[in-house]
Amino acid sequence: MKGVSRRRPIDRLNVLIVDDDEILGEFIALELQSRGCSILLAPSGEEALKLIGEDVDLLLTDWQMPGMDGMELVRRVRQERSGESYLHIAMMTAREGSGAMLEALAAGVDHFLYKPVDSVQLELAVATARRNRLLHRRLNRRNQLLATAHARMRKVFVALREDLDAAASLHERLLPSGRIVGSVQQVHLYQPALSLGGDTIGTLDLGEGKTLFFMIDVRGHGVPAALESFHLHHRLKGFRPSDPAELCRAAVGLNEEMLQRGDGSYATMLAGVIDAPANRGWIVRAGHPPPLLQQGTAVTVLEQGGSMPLGWFPGVSYAAEPFTFGPSARLTVYSDGLTDCFDGRQSGVSGDLYLARLLEAGAERPLAGFVDFIEEGLGLRKASPHDDVSLLALELTRLEDSAP
Amino acid sequence: MNERKDIFDLRVDCERLDAAAAPEFKRRAQQELPAEQKRVLLDLDAVSFIDSTGLGVLVSILKQMGPDGRIAVIGARPPVRRLFEITRLDSLFRLYGDADQARQALAG
């Protein structure tokens, strides 16, 4: 019948007795049979090796025998026996020296019976073997159960891992692709703390020289934060805000939508539009770190008009902050994970300030190498960030960028 | 309705109010904060870092106190102060230099 295994009665002990003294062997066999044991008898070590199988629970052997002695038999048996089945080995001996006894222990003897062997010693050997066999079988059963549970968990884990990898891949496909979007050059850095991040970065060509850009950082990490950021990314692109008023309306709309869900989730967001022909842009900031606008070595923090994160309170209004964005300007947007992983305790400088100084130092570097420069400067490659790390840097395209 | 306008002292004891510590602080605050409590003095002196989860917990405590609830913060270190400014939480959680100033403001 499937699922039902045949088991021997738990208290029956299979004993192999090895003794070149046939009378003594028979005496022990009779004694043990009366204690519920099944007996095999071997007159020598060589014969014992042929007889012993995995079902023998107790090997009771004489030490001194012609040919293979008890010590050699024990060594051979221990070598050949698998670790799965339990075998208790008792050695019968006249009083040996302590060195020989220790040698026997090392060879694999569990128990000694001293000659003349009496019924009490046999009783002790059988009781010990029976108890140890019971413990060994329980341990084996538990190990089997654990192995089965582990295999099931492993299967679930592998399936989950594959799902997570697929989700992470989908999530990352939302990130800006290509070097140019509309009239803007773009580079970005995206490093989630877990396989799935709550940060998202987006850019969208709105036509007529306008480009939408944004960064959203949803509270927490992992799957819930990633799903929320995935949703907000698409919602914001769906709004397609292309001027200051539309940016504000989009922020108000997302705030109300998050509040309506009532799940306590919230997000910081920076969204902006660059109007390349007019050399200008606007940003709306909802609890997000202010971006850095760079003109040569002069770095300005765009921190006017910021408001609260999305999803905290109803009725929050958002204001769009204008900025001038000429051909030599660079705008750097980042999440707090970027500056939080900078340890400023030694330099006594905050991450924000350090980043601004880094930008000043790297003013001459082209946009193409900008991410590497920031990673190097903030020590991001050595750090294992606790938070998602995101950065987006934008410049207007130049004539040579548009050339085929 | 028995609104409590006396001042309840709430202190954050951990150095990092982050995803690991914030849920425990939230549980403690919810347990200890009397019902209808409307004035809280929040001591952040021990805190050097607050992440988004920690910030969410502070907002949830304010929401728990209802529309008339007021929280005054003391001991905010520069990074924490900066976070309150960026998220404009400083418009709801007033930051004060010492406890006397904060108590006076809450009592007023």
Dump the DSSP string for A30-77: HHHHTTTEEEEEESSHHHHHHH--TT--EEEEESS-SSS-HHHHHHHH
**Model confidence pLDDT, tens digit, residues A47-60:** 999 999 889 999 99
User: How sure is the predictor about B57, in pLDDT bands with cuts at 50, 70 and 90?
Assistant: very high
Assess contact for A203 and A184: CB atoms under 8 A: yes
The verdict on residue A158 lying in a domain is: no
Domain with residue A211: its CATH number is 3.60.40.10
The verdict on residue A368 lying in a domain is: yes
The verdict on residue A198 lying in a domain is: yes
* pLDDT number for residue A376: 86
Helix, strand or coil for residue A142?
helix
pLDDT at position A6 over 60: no
Decide the pairing of beta strands A320-324 and A298-301.
unpaired
The verdict on residue A180 lying in a domain is: yes
Mean pLDDT of A59-66: 95
* pLDDT number for residue A3: 47
Tell me which H or E stretch contains A299.
Answer: strand A298-301
A123 and A230 assigned to the same domain: no
Total count of domains within chain B: 1
A71 and A178 assigned to the same domain: no
Dump the DSSP string for B86-104: HTTGGGTEEEESSHHHHHH
Domain that holds residue B74: 4-107
Cβ separation A219–B79 shorter than 8 A: no
A260 and A375 assigned to the same domain: yes
- Spatial distance between the Cα atoms of A305 and A319, rounded to a whole number of angstroms: 6
**Model confidence pLDDT, tens digit, residues A192-237:** 887 788 899 999 999 999 999 999 999 877 888 899 999 999 999 9
A286 and A221 assigned to the same domain: yes
CB neighbourhood size of A150 (10 A): 11
Q: Where are the beta strands (DSSP E) in A141-291?
A: 180-181, 184-191, 199-207, 210-218, 267-275, 280-286
Assess contact for A55 and A12: CB atoms under 8 A: no
pLDDT at position A323 over 90: yes
To the nearest whole Å, the CA of B89 is away from the closest chain A CA by 7
Residues 6+ apart with CB under 8 A from A199: A190, A192, A215, A216, A217, A218, A229, A335, A337, A388, A389, A390
A135 and A182 assigned to the same domain: no
A251 and A332 assigned to the same domain: yes
A195 and A298 assigned to the same domain: yes
User: How sure is the predictor about A381, in pLDDT bands with cuts at 50, 70 and 90?
Assistant: low
Chain A CB contacts of B56 under 8 Å are 219, 264, 266
The verdict on residue A151 lying in a domain is: no
Last residue of a domain, one of A143, A163, A183: A143
The Cα-based distances of A346 to A127, A343, A359, B56, B68 in angstroms read 68, 7, 20, 29, 43
* pLDDT number for residue A2: 47
Tell me which H or E stretch contains A363.
Answer: none
- Spatial distance between the Cα atoms of A42 and A122, rounded to a whole number of angstroms: 18
A136 and A249 assigned to the same domain: no
Q: CA geometry: angle at B56 spanning B83 and A320, to 5°?
A: 55
Determine the residue type at A153.
Answer: M
Tokens coding A323: 């900025």
**ipTM over cut 0.85:** yes
Side-chain-side CA neighbours of residue A77 (13 Å): 34
Q: Which residues of B42-52 are buried (b: 16+ CB within 10 A; e: fewer)?
A: bbbeebebbbb
The structure tokens 């005496």 sit at A27
**Model confidence pLDDT, tens digit, residues A241-288:** 999 999 999 999 999 999 998 888 899 999 999 999 999 999 999 999
Domain with residue A126: its CATH number is 3.40.50.2300
A253 and A378 assigned to the same domain: yes
A179 and A284 assigned to the same domain: yes
pLDDT higher at B18 or A347: B18
A336 and A188 assigned to the same domain: yes
* A387 has a chain B CB within 8 A of its CB: yes
Minimum-distance CB partner of A266 among B51, B56, B78? B56
The verdict on residue A150 lying in a domain is: no
The verdict on residue A396 lying in a domain is: yes
A290 and A222 assigned to the same domain: yes
Domain with residue B98: its CATH number is 3.30.750.24
The verdict on residue A7 lying in a domain is: no
Interface of A with B in 253-292 (CB under 8 A): 264, 266, 268, 287-290
Domain that holds residue A363: 174-402
- Spatial distance between the Cα atoms of A375 and A368, rounded to a whole number of angstroms: 13
- Average pLDDT score over chain A: 90
Minimum-distance CB partner of A308 among B51, B52, B87? B87
**Model confidence pLDDT, tens digit, residues A233-254:** 999 999 999 999 999 999 999 9
Total count of domains within chain A: 2
Task: Return the residue in A258, A284, A308 with the most chain B beta carbons within 10 A, the one to mutate for interface testing.
Answer: A308
